[in-house]
Amino acid sequence: MPTEPETDYDPELGRKFIFVTGGVMSGLGKGITAASTGRLLKNAGFDVTAVKIDPYLNVDAGTMNPFQHGEVYVLKDGGEVDLDLGNYERFLDIDMTFDHNVTTGKTYQHVIEKERAGDYLGRTVQIIPHVTDDIKRRIREAAEGNDVCIIEVGGTVGDIEGMPYLEALRQFAHEEDEDDILFTHVTLVPYSKNGEQKTKPTQHSVKELRSIGLQPDVLVGRCSDKLDIDTKEKIALFCDVPTDAVFSNPDVDDIYHVPLMVEEEGLDQYVMEQLNVADEALPAEDRENRWRELVTQQTEGEVDVALVGKYDLEDAYMSVHEALKHAGLEKNVDVNVRWVNSEKMPDHHERRMREADAIVVPGGFGTRGTQGKIDAIRYARENAIPYLGLCLGFQLAVIEYARNVLGLEWAHSAELDEDTPHPVIDILPEQYEIEDMGGTMRLGAHETDIEPGTLAASLYGDSCTERHRHRYEVNPEYFDSLEDAGLKFSGRSGNRMEILELAAAEHPYFIGTQFHPEFRSRPTRASPPFVGLLEAVLGDDPHGVDAETEVSH
């Protein structure tokens, strides 16, 4: 994990801070609202970063169950974080670090370590000022080098876990100049049975916020439709904000249309005016317009991709879904992701897989559902269906090949079967003595060298740097026999196998990566393996792409 330097705050730096809180219920979309605001500010010429505050006691998200919390997103420095940071990276097109995620576990751990070391000189260590000071320090350090920092406070106002953070924000507001800080509150505006937009949940939420000492500057109403003017006026009256400070964020078909929606509402312009930076923004005609062009373009077809996994929850594979969408934006097609439950094969899920144009097997842990994934990989290999395996999907492709081509019966991963006679996937050497589960895998960005003339080289060039999250890898004892049988390891990091593929003469597109390329995919910069997958479906030849140098990945 990154070191935690103690720095003195310089009030003359002039950074702007936008704090985003949520009320009524979780899952409203305050993160997407915040990220969309940040995207528009970036389009206007400002350097924007973000901080996600997660009030849970976990130090990081690495040990969390995807069923409960969605995917674990991995940052370039190896930080395992909440999936919302993935949205910030995708919307802002930035690479964040573990310092941009603040958790209660991380904060308390640091404060307690300082207390044990005697850093507080005998003083009683308390929530105020020691924990709140540490929270403020983390926010300011994460904001360094940027014009604007957007801070999303997880959970909802009134949660007991979030109280120290809201108190820290109250103090923060007293320490900053008035035009350097803005509080945005996102709430639910539901419909009654008679079709009326109800403001009472918003009123109660703001009342709760004000009781803590925070007055929102901007209110964003999440509703299935735009807020009526009468609704806005009522919210403004009872929540003590100007009517111009009440904005709609209605439901849209695609989250990438949210920046367009809030721009239409004028949220970005209002924010810039309140922060006193409107005069510094680029003229409208000079602002970045690539995002709008991409998300509003008319598509010219569609592709069905089978996503074969065991977590029946889209959030568990959010980055994979988004990377497929980004590839679709680049190839100008709609990508329909067909969920295939690997535990329910053979049945209608297998039929769903067979009807797809391509197959993706994503990462995961544990034995449950692995045989269904192996069956899907074999089907893709034997029937020339474009295939992309990610992390576990890479490892299971090795297992499938060892079993069905090399004839190594019961070949498996030592992680999934300790008694396998052929552990073609085995634990990393440096992992033997590790007992803790959190933050101990091979994590973060690592460089891979790619062999010229391969499919991987046509996608990436001579090298790539992608993010990892795994504890096991291909067993070196089986390298030669696997390659002699036709499974090419085209990407390596020292003695670690990073990319596998089949030759073009054997398969139109069969590739697996030990790393997770989906974590670096962006709407304006799609991940090469995902683009190649769609090219294979559309009849283009991903093997023949000319890539003389490494692409941006």
Eight-class DSSP state of 196: P
Task: Report the pLDDT value the prediction gives residue 4, as an integer from 0 to 100.
Answer: 43
| Neighbouring C-alpha atoms within 13 Å toward the C-beta of 201 | 20
Which ranges constitute the DSSP H helices of 241-282?
A: 258-265, 267-274
Place of tokens 């797809």: 356
Task: Report the pLDDT value the prediction gives residue 427, as an integer from 0 to 100.
Answer: 85
Task: Report the pLDDT value the prediction gives residue 450, as an integer from 0 to 100.
Answer: 97
- Choose the weakest-confidence range: 56-70, 249-263, 513-527: 56-70
- The Cα 315–Cα 69 span in angstroms is 8
> What is the value of pTM for the model shown?
0.91
Do 425 and 472 meet the contact criterion of CB atoms below 8 Å apart? yes
Q: Minimal CA–CA distance to 94: which of 71, 73, 72, 76?
A: 76
pLDDT band at 435 (very low <50, low <70, confident <90, very high): low
Say whether pLDDT at 546 is over 70.
no
Say whether pLDDT at 344 is over 90.
no
Task: Reply yes or no on whether 464 is catalytic.
Answer: no
Of these residues, 322, 350, 400, 518, which one is catalytic?
518
517-530 per-position pLDDT tens digit: 999 999 999 999 99
- The Cα 375–Cα 406 span in angstroms is 16
Task: Report the pLDDT value the prediction gives residue 191, as an integer from 0 to 100.
Answer: 94
Residue ranges of E strands in 180-301: 181-188, 218-223, 246-250
Q: Do 299-544 and 11-294 have the same topology in CATH?
A: yes
Task: Reply yes or no on whether 518 is catalytic.
Answer: yes
Task: Report the pLDDT value the prediction gives residue 438, as an integer from 0 to 100.
Answer: 57
Of these residues, 223, 239, 391, 464, which one is catalytic?
391
Return the sign of the alpha-carbon dihedral for residues 314, 329, 524, 551: positive
266-296 per-position pLDDT tens digit: 999 999 999 999 999 999 888 888 899 999 9
Burial code of 218-255, b = ≥16 C-beta within 10 A, e = fewer? bbbbbbeebbeeebbebbbeebebeeebbbbbeeeeeb
Q: Does domain 299-544 have CATH number 3.40.50.880?
A: yes
pLDDT band at 433 (very low <50, low <70, confident <90, very high): low
- Choose the weakest-confidence range: 205-209, 219-223, 429-433, 490-494: 429-433
- Which whole number is the average pLDDT over 12-36? 88
Of these residues, 110, 422, 516, 553, which one is catalytic?
516
Do 277 and 46 meet the contact criterion of CB atoms below 8 Å apart? yes
Percentage, residues of the chain above pLDDT 70? 93
Average of per-residue pLDDT values in the chain: 91
- The domain segmentation of the chain, as residue ranges, is 11-294, 299-544
pLDDT band at 432 (very low <50, low <70, confident <90, very high): low
Question: For the domain bounded by 11-294, which CATH number is listed?
Answer: 3.40.50.300
67-119 per-position pLDDT tens digit: 777 899 999 999 999 999 999 999 999 999 999 999 999 999 999 999 999 99
Task: Report the pLDDT value the prediction gives residue 186, as an integer from 0 to 100.
Answer: 97
Task: Reply yes or no on whether 553 is catalytic.
Answer: no
Say whether pLDDT at 552 is over 90.
no
